[in-house]
Amino acid sequence: MTTYLQQAQTGVWDVRASFLPAIYLEGVTRAGGIATLLPPQPVDDDIAERLLDGLDGLIITGGRDVMPESYGQPRHPATDEDAADNRMRDAMEFALVRGAVRRGMPLLGICRGAQVLNVALGGTLHQHLPDVVGHTHHQQGNAVFSTSTVRTVPGSRLAALIGESSDAQCYHHQAIDRLGEGLVVSAQDADGVIEAVELDRATHPQAWVVAVQWHPEERLDDLRLFAAVVQAAAGYATERLNA
């Protein structure tokens, strides 16, 4: 799992730190997986490949906005300000995503992670959803998650996991616009906002790559997404051992 890198307070300390809310770890461990944290750091494709060599699956987690220059747009006033640490996280996660897709490693994207996946594969984002849908329901602010009903696309991997619809915990003011190469929409909400994508099963039948715009870690009474990526990772590990 990838992590944040920003100023953080703990006890008497106020320092630049890499961290991830523990609820993400609980999602993985409750589903039977072993959690490993990947702090943002300078990487190139070769270093990303070395990191992936030690993993069986990858989760790109939530966090700050992806820098819009990554998908060829100027910064919207509502988009997070440019920061060196955020640029480093973007670059690392793009490299990890590209490497995971190349090798067929199971990948789950969560919120920002869905956007990272899309941008890494050449897609773009809506930088501020209220400009598109006319309201702030998707991110009401003050760390209060809103509940949206998402409807899955029949025949998608996601539909096989969660059924026709699900109530999702959302906290995002950005969303996927133009799809990245090889991705298909697997869920939307009532506004038509893309709430999940995955690699096209027609062209990538063996690849388990699913990304959701919502926060499944906020509902650990429903471990289906975490269980699915852990199960896919176990299968990937077995295939590597037998290769």
Q: Is 72 left (phi over 0), alpha (psi -120 to 50) or beta?
A: left
Cβ atoms of 198 and 156 closer than 8 Å:
yes
Cβ atoms of 78 and 126 closer than 8 Å:
no
Q: How many residues does the chain have?
A: 243
Told to judge if 217 belongs to the known catalytic residues of this protein, a careful annotator would answer yes
Compute the distance between CA of residue 133 and CA of residue 7 in angstroms, rounded to an integer: 32
Query: Which pair of tokens denotes residue 189?
Result: 């909400």
Residue 123 neighbours by CB under 8 Å, 6+ apart: 71, 176, 177, 178, 179, 180, 181, 183
Cα of first residue to Cα of last residue in the chain, in angstroms, is: 25
Cβ atoms of 41 and 239 closer than 8 Å:
no
SS3 content of the chain, % helix, strand, coil (to 5): 35, 25, 40
Q: Which of 93, 198, 217, 218 is catalytic?
A: 217
Cβ atoms of 93 and 119 closer than 8 Å:
no
Compute the distance between CA of residue 177 and CA of residue 190 in angstroms, rounded to an integer: 16
Residue 71 neighbours by CB under 8 Å, 6+ apart: 119, 123, 124, 125
Told to judge if 172 belongs to the known catalytic residues of this protein, a careful annotator would answer no
Q: Which of 126, 138, 172, 215 is catalytic?
A: 215
- Which 3 state secondary structure label does DSSP give 84? helix
Q: Which of 111, 138, 172, 218 is catalytic?
A: 111
Residues assigned a catalytic role:
111, 215, 217
